[in-house]
Amino acid sequence: QDRSSALVTPVVSDLDIKCIVAPPISRTTSSKSQRWNKPIFGLSFEVNLTTDVECFISKTQVQLMQTILKENIMNSGLSNDDVTIDVTTTDTRTAPSHLPQVAAPEEKLDSGIGSEFSHKNRHVIKSRDSKPDVQEMECLVTAGGLSMFVYEHSKMGKAWNRLVPVVRVSLIQPAFNCTRRADSDTIQISCFDISLAKCKSNTRSADNTQLVPSAQDYDVIWFRTGDGSPDKHTELTPAFVNFTCKLYPSSPADLKLDFGRPIWIDVDLGLLERLKDFTTDLNMQETKLDNEHQTSSESDLMNIVRSVAISTDYVAITATAGQDMEIDPVVKVSCSSMNLGVSLKADEREDFCQRIAANLHLCAITISTSIDDKLLSFLLPYDASIDLELFCSSPSISQDTYCVSAVKEIFVWLDLGLLQVNFGQQHLRCMNAFTQNVMAFINTHFGGNADDIDANSASLPDPTSTFHRSDDDLRTGPFKYVTSAASDTRPNPYEIVFSDESLPTMTWRYPEPRALCGIHIIPVPFTTFTSYPSPVMEEDRLVSSSCF
């Protein structure tokens, strides 16, 4: 028989684990009447990863794990019907234990069986709702550094000879803490710092001895953080993210997410395409639920969560949509800080939310565009505050009652600052190119079938018959705007020079000589990104002249 060779690749390297288990400590007190234990400390379990851990995950490994899990689940012999039967039988058995116990009255005994007993030899014990004993415990998992390298192989011929790095995730001092107390359970997830990196080139040649990528292969950081403001009391630098979930025994949970460091995110279409290619062949199975299950899951979510709070520091997102394109448009959105809070108040009915209160505060939000490595402000720093309060009407149980709307009252409070917008031809070109490139990317990777696309394209009118674009048009052509103080500055091809004189002039140059039959000047009725005298901008008529 032919024996095929197996290639073993590392998944986790340099893993040292330190575990600490501490038993619970309690104080025992005994007296003549009773003996009880008073807990001081609960059970403690701690896991520390003492070394920096590196994990290597490839596309084939993910597919292998999916196949193993699928085969084990299919061959286990369990089905949804079996699980449902077990659950129902368990509920029916445990249901009688929760029924209230009927006690005989203390004043008078029944004349039936057992009437020979009297009050003297009968001990009456009052029934009390016994609270369940909660065993306090705490679980802590920490690590110094955790790096995850995601990659895949590109098949060239019959061999795998190229590594394609996808993304690298680096976590510094991640921690997971779970605490169980009598009043509430707390889950805390924190990470001091995080960074995401990608590879600049699509493929990277690997040596014969290199089985997994290295840190040098991911040379472009597209998600990074800065130093946050230190704490006033401890003077310590805050962590990047803190997630806290408090679970109460008799009320829904409280969720809180806090980003304590500035964040810079640079996203382009190449990164999105690489992530899309990585997840293409993965078996992402989606479970389809019935309408009853969907409504029950939504009501369960309303009953589980009581409040959600999210706060961030400075956040800047830069989106580039010009890979392998003639024009490289860039849109940047930044915000100094953001606070979001949502509060849900449920009614006595479990499937109904009575009141929803939400508030959103944005501080110094700005939008900028760039098309030729020159960042121009579109929206100047702007503050906004929105408070929303929504009251829902209780749905009627009777089917005869018809409710027009589930929302009874809506209160909105808006606190908006001065909105300043700069808009010019460069902004228009950037927005137009950005939209076209993004729509082309969506149609290519997330579009429908080819037949649907052909049918839609056939039903649409011919764009050339209704829209005509000319390179002579200074608004849509590949022209660059240049501001010069000298009056004798001559523009280069495809440049428009604005001179700063008593009477401003505009001079442009085509790449080759041509004869102009007419010039149409259309004033822009809003402020551009360059300041001009007000009489020029306030001109409201169309000027047309002929050239011979």
Residue 437 has pLDDT above 80, yes or no: yes
- Across the range 240-269, mean pLDDT stands at 90
Residue 275 has pLDDT above 80, yes or no: yes
Extended beta strands in 300-370, E state: 305-312, 315-320, 330-346, 353-370
Between 354 and 113, name the one with better pLDDT.
354
DSSP state of 421: B
- Among 276, 369, 376, 379, residue whose Cα is nearest residue 328: 369
Extended beta strands in 144-202, E state: 145-156, 159-180, 185-198
- Across the range 159-165, mean pLDDT stands at 70
Residue 258 has pLDDT above 90, yes or no: yes
Share of residues in the chain with pLDDT > 70 (%): 62
For residues 174 and 195, is the Cβ–Cβ distance under 8 A? no
Residue 79 has pLDDT above 80, yes or no: no
Q: Give 23-70 pLDDT, tens digit per residue.
A: 887 777 776 667 777 777 778 899 999 888 889 888 888 888 888 888
Q: Which two tokens stand for residue 131?
A: 């609270």
Residue 370 has pLDDT above 60, yes or no: yes
Residue 190 has pLDDT above 90, yes or no: yes
The amino acid at residue 273 is E
Q: What letters, b where the CB count within 10 A reaches 16 and e where it falls short, cover 422-448?
A: bbbbbbebbbebbeebbeebeeeeeee
Residue 292, helix vs strand vs coil: helix
- Among 284, 224, 211, 280, residue whose Cα is nearest residue 56: 211
Write down the pLDDT at residue 541.
38
Helices first, then strands: H and E counts in the chain? 8, 26
Question: Scanning the structure block, which residue is given the tokens 């011979």?
Answer: 548
- Model confidence at 247, pLDDT cuts 50, 70, 90, reads confident
End-to-end CA distance of the chain: 89
Write down the pLDDT at residue 398.
44
Can you tell me the distance from the alpha carbon of 47 to that of 420, in angstroms, rounded to the nearest whole number?
53
Question: Scanning the structure block, which residue is given the tokens 């600490």?
Answer: 20
Write down the pLDDT at residue 19.
92
Can you tell me the distance from the alpha carbon of 533 to that of 502, in angstroms, rounded to the nearest whole number?
10
Residue 353, helix vs strand vs coil: strand
Can you tell me the distance from the alpha carbon of 390 to that of 58, in angstroms, rounded to the nearest whole number?
47
Residue 439 has pLDDT above 70, yes or no: yes
Between β-strands 315-320 and 330-346, what pairing exists: parallel, antiparallel or unpaired?
antiparallel
Mean pLDDT lowest among 115-124, 129-138, 193-202:
115-124
Between 470 and 307, name the one with better pLDDT.
307
Write down the pLDDT at residue 312.
92
Write down the pLDDT at residue 409.
83
Q: Give 461-474 pLDDT, tens digit per residue.
A: 444 433 444 556 66
Share of residues in the chain with pLDDT > 90 (%): 20
Residue 516 has pLDDT above 90, yes or no: no
- Model confidence at 324, pLDDT cuts 50, 70, 90, reads low
Residue 125 has pLDDT above 90, yes or no: no
Q: What letters, b where the CB count within 10 A reaches 16 and e where it falls short, cover 325-360?
A: eebbbbbbbbbbbbebbbbbebeeeeebbbebbebe
- Model confidence at 297, pLDDT cuts 50, 70, 90, reads low
Q: What is the pLDDT of the chain when averaged over all its residues?
A: 73
